[in-house]
Structure 1
Amino acid sequence: MVGNDIVDLLEAKASPNWQTPRFLEKLFTINEQSLILNSKNSFENIWQLWSMKEAAYKLYVQTNPCRFYNPKAFECSFINGRPRVKFQDFECILSTVKTPNYILSEARLDKASLTSKVIKLAGQNQKNRSEETKLALLQHISKTCPISKQNPVFQKNEFGIPLVNHISKQFSVSLSHHGSYGAFAVA
């Protein structure tokens, strides 16, 4: 199982909401707000913590199928420089990649390898970006099983959790898109 989230930094910077105290209070715990306000780059830190929360949430709902909105319940921290998110008794392994253009966080339960890819999106609206990200995922899975004439099938369960069926395999996947970037991860 896997969760991911990507933040287009140019798109995030264009929104003034992230600079308001109400934004911080609504989404981040007191400890997280302290991390943000005491960092050298508050903007980057906000979006790293947000992407970590989102990736962990996506993984959590795969292991505990339900839907809810409570970002402050997923608390981010750094232990010896390593990112960590905790929700009740749930913890996961996180990795974050920061570039000048985006921040990508990925969450998983164990150290098993995962495949992930970031794509530059051409779509101009939310639906096109979502479809473009999905198509890139399906093309990737098709390449992993090139001898099959069967196309992989993307599905979501009743809780909105995505998965891909291909031949006799079921792939745990996570998709994310924001602004000009899309990303997928396959466990």
Structure 2
Amino acid sequence: MKNCFDVIGNDIVDLRLAAVESDPMRQRFLDKVFTKREQAVIFNASKPLKQLWLLWTMKEAAYKAHQRRFSLTRKFNPLVQQCVILSQSGDSASGEVKIGTRVYHITSIYNEKYIHSLASINPGATNFLWEILPSSADLRKDFLLDISQQYGIPAYSLAIEKDRNFVPVLMYKNKTFPIAFSFSKHGKFGAFSRELMNY
């Protein structure tokens, strides 16, 4: 692993916007994004469209974690990802996404407005915080204020920059601050997730 800290990714889908943006249930789209096994999971669900977006967010979250973990250039190929839902209830799910030999552990929450998924390389990880905000909020500003308050660091000394692969990294006094985090935004919702660390 390239970094000394954990790796996470997150993704959020505004279900109301997703319902009018396109027709994801068309076969051509399904074949580009989901394996036959995943398509069976979608069509066997009581709410197929919602299940589709659940699998989508799980794959996107895992992709972001994988890209960060191995410092990869942007190349989202969902068919190389094998997504399995391990448990699912009325408002949450957990599962795994396998990319090659690497497994990402997924925790998802959802309601009638959005689906949010978080990917981690550690099974059963509880050392993460996520916050879902209106898309009008400044995710980066809220994230930096959150870090500032937790670690007692002046917000003006923190910055977010992108590395050569356009992955955001947190900087403190021009040095990388070793914390895993991820941003996502869609429609009326935005989210950031971050690792909880004790220094």
Provide TM-score, normalisation by structure 1.
0.88
Would you identify which runs of 4 or more consecutive aligned residues in structure 1 move more than 6 Å?
none
What 5-or-longer segments of structure 1 have no aligned partner? 124-131
User: Number of residue pairs matched?
Assistant: 179
Return closer, same or farther for 1:28/1:143 CA change in 2, 3 Å cut-off: same
SS in 2 for 1:18: coil
Hey, what's the Cα distance between the residues in 2 that align with 1:92 and 1:34? 21
Task: Identify the structure with the greater helix proportion.
Answer: 1
Match of 1:145 among 139, 146, 151: 151
Q: Residue 26 of structure 1 contacts residue 72 of structure 1 at CA under 8 Å; is this kept in 2? A: yes
Return closer, same or farther for 1:100/1:151 CA change in 2, 3 Å cut-off: farther
Hey, what's the Cα distance between the residues in 2 that align with 1:57 and 1:34? 22
Residue 147 of structure 1 deviates from its aligned partner by: 5.2
Partner residue in 2 for 1:175? 183
Q: CA RMSD in A?
A: 1.8
Identity of aligned residues (%): 28
Hey, what's the Cα distance between the residues in 2 that align with 1:94 and 1:56? 8
SS in 1 for 2:165: coil
* CA displacement, residues 66-106 of structure 1 (integer Å, 9 cap, x when unaligned): 12121111111123554111111010221000122110000
Partner residue in 2 for 1:84? 96
Report whether the alignment pairs 1:62 with 2:68. Answer: yes
Hey, what's the Cα distance between the residues in 1 that align with 2:155 and 2:15? 39
Partner residue in 1 for 2:111? 99
Return closer, same or farther for 1:147/1:4 CA change in 2, 3 Å cut-off: closer
* CA displacement, residues 116-145 of structure 1 (integer Å, 9 cap, x when unaligned): 10001227xxxxxxxx22222122112213
What 5-or-longer segments of structure 2 have no aligned partner? 1-6, 89-93
Residue 152 of structure 1 deviates from its aligned partner by: 1.3
Return closer, same or farther for 1:72/1:147 CA change in 2, 3 Å cut-off: closer
Provide TM-score, normalisation by structure 2.
0.83
Letter of the structure 2 residue corresponding to residue 116 of structure 1: W
